[in-house]
Amino acid sequence: MVEAVRPPVRGDRAIPPTDPDRKPLTTSAASAGAPFPLGARWDGAGTNFSVFSRAAERIELCLFDDAGAEERIELPRSTGDSWHGYVSGVGPGQRYGYRAHGRWDPSLGLRCNPAKLLLDPYARAIDGQIRWGGAIHGHIRGHPFRKQVADSAPDVPRSVVVDDTFDWGDDTRPRHPDADTVIYETHVKGISRRHPDVPASLQGTYAGLAHPAIVDHLRSLGVTSVELLPVHQFVHDGFLLDRGLRQYWGYNSIGFFAPHSEYAAGGTAGQQVDEFKSMIKALHAAGLEVILDVVYNHTGEGNHRGPTLSMRGLDNHAYYRVRPDSPRHYTDYTGTGNSLNMQEPYVLQLIMDSLRYWITEMHVDGFRFDLASALARESHTVERGSAFFDIIQQDPVIRSTKLIAEPWDVGDGGYQVGNFPAFWSEWNGRYRDDVRDLWRGEPDMLHDFGRRFTGSADLYADEGRTPAASINFITAHDGFTLLDLVSYDHKHNRANGDGNRDGESHNRSWNCGVEGPSHDPTVQELRRRQRRNLLTTLLLSQGVPMLLGGDEIGRTQQGNNNGYCQDSELSWYDWFAIDEEMLEFTRRLVAFRRAHPVFRRVRWFHDGPATGPGGHEVNGIEWCTVDGERMQDDDWHTEGAAAIAVYLSGQHLEDEQGGAVEDDSFYLTLNATADAVDFRLPDGLLGGRWQWVLDTAAPEPFVAQGGRLGEAGEVVSVAARSVVLARRVGPD
């Protein structure tokens, strides 16, 4: 097999080779040290090393100098299941790893192999990437039960001792209330890699994201929170490197405490930690929260054919869920080859310690948990009363942050939207699907749309949850961009090298009549209008809106809906082709939401005089037919109906503390049909004089002050596939 060579990356360096025949150095020795805390902890004079392994019979600490020479020191003491030792004179920048001596018997799930250099699961920095070859595997390829005795040290990354001190100055967490939150999902590298105002040496790095050019863009957009795709140290899959591709999204973690070294401009021997902290400090100073997308459900060690890099070699049976009937194999709820063992207390401790570290030491503001259903599987089923949920609920540090679940995994019963505990928010996949279906012209969507627009009370109203439990989104990293959503009916993923078999085939997208780019002005205008419709729906819905980064500037992936391996211009933001019109529209829409609490209520619509979708009592809202009459039960299911209006009262609102808030009242008309529809403005109790605020079909969507007025009972034409929003300016 030809070894795949990793392309050079700024700030990274090759791992110096080691001589497998060289005798270990013995110049240093370790005193007993302490079993806790786990990891490598420098005290100014030396470093305490502690690592968990129930399977090991002894563990060697391996220290590497700058030339790659290795010194092995046996950890002298085990306390419980922690192996530990203290080494004087070892400090920040020291590269290290472990070798675990113990039983090798894959048939029993035991995979200790001292020929494999192992990363510390608690390493706070990691230097280098994998060089794929036979040596990184614990077994001989093609012979799964035969131990591979080749030394892996020349081919694997090393853990790094770090100095935790950092001048945070007057850093303050923004702590935006849930109801005021607008999330912006982005990628550390992608957002700045091609920005012309970011110095070339900083492009694609933590420092690049913290650059004023990027920060100013985010502030001008009006978002409150930046949600970063995974920044935990991750590995690049060998099969991708063989194709000339790389892992881009980062859902392949190998270090839950270490910021990914390839995103560092200033060095990888611990400098990435300070650079990450400086990024957080800069974003906080701009009033922006930072939410991390975290992957605790699996690791980059893969299935039984995967490499031995860390946990597999330390204690495979404890860290991973092995199949009871075949311990050589793994129980896989993630689609990645393995699942962490959430029944193991040390695994739960690892996750909790990692979360606390990112909060207390790195100052992050929240987490989005990838495939969170897998974390709640103690046995086979997803359990709301799982230990994972219990310990998070009881932890005051973690509970103080924003917690967002991706509420599904690939196992049986994994789709759990609406079923997470009360203190969690969730990515609402039902919102994405129903709103897409309405605007692409699926029939009989009014009933489901009404539920999603009002915060999905059918999913989240129980157990004291609020509309903020629903993280509403139209697009996210794992799918089409907004521009591609209205430009492609089919995925176009051939650049991924998998014959276009990867990625979701059913995208609820509509190409507006032409597949891919079009120079037809009619098609172009329809696509602009559809993007406005989707963003308007998102920003005016109850719940927390999440924007996919780059949608505001018209980013395209050319129909690729699975860019996980596209670390290229296909994924990076194109700052040279900004859709200025869409950017300005998004800015104004976000600002409009921020200015009007009627669109971001902190409580559900309850106990009102009217009837809403599903027969629920509502307050402050009236759904109306195109005739201006209150919706009746049958109206929600009228065959072919795709036009509806809603009255939103600005009276008797509350803030987060229960204080009274007043706002304007609005009348929103949505026409998802292919033809213009005549809407009759309401009269009676809902009647009044209405001033146009927004018309997505207009060349200038936001109407200037003093624009068009409508009277009670007046019939107005709403263009095909458009939204019109009017403000009540008087009772008559």
What is the token pair recorded at 317?
């049976």
Radius of gyration of the chain (CA): 28
- Length of the chain in terms of residues written: 732
CA 91-95-98 angle, 5° bins: 110
Collapsing DSSP states into helix, strand and coil, what is residue 340?
A: strand
Closest CA to 319 of 289, 296, 336: 296
Rounded Cα–Cα distance for residues 233 and 127 (Å): 9
Q: Identify the burial level of 91 via C-beta atoms within 10 angstroms of its C-beta, where 0-12 means exposed, 13-18 middle and 19 or more buried.
A: middle
Rounded Cα–Cα distance for residues 574 and 520 (Å): 23
What is the token pair recorded at 582?
């869409």
Catalytic residue among 60, 262, 406, 552: 406
478 is catalytic: no
Collapsing DSSP states into helix, strand and coil, what is residue 338?
A: coil
98 pairs with which residues across the strands?
Answer: 61, 118
Catalytic residue among 155, 370, 434, 567: 370
- Helix H or strand E segment including 256: strand 253-259
Is 710 in contact with 726 (CB distance < 8 Å)? yes
End-to-end CA distance of the chain: 80
Is 47 in contact with 125 (CB distance < 8 Å)? no
Count Cβ atoms below 10 Å from residue 431 Cβ, excluding itself. Answer: 30
Closest CA to 398 of 284, 294, 276, 319: 294
Sequence letter at residue 719: A
- Residue 574: alpha-carbon gap to chain centroid: 21
DSSP annotation string for 545-612: EEEETTGGGT---TT-S-GGG--STTTS--TTS--HHHHHHHHHHHHHHHH-GGGS-SS---S-SEE-
Closest CA to 291 of 225, 355, 370: 225
167 is catalytic: no
Among all residues, which ones are annotated catalytic? Answer: 370, 406
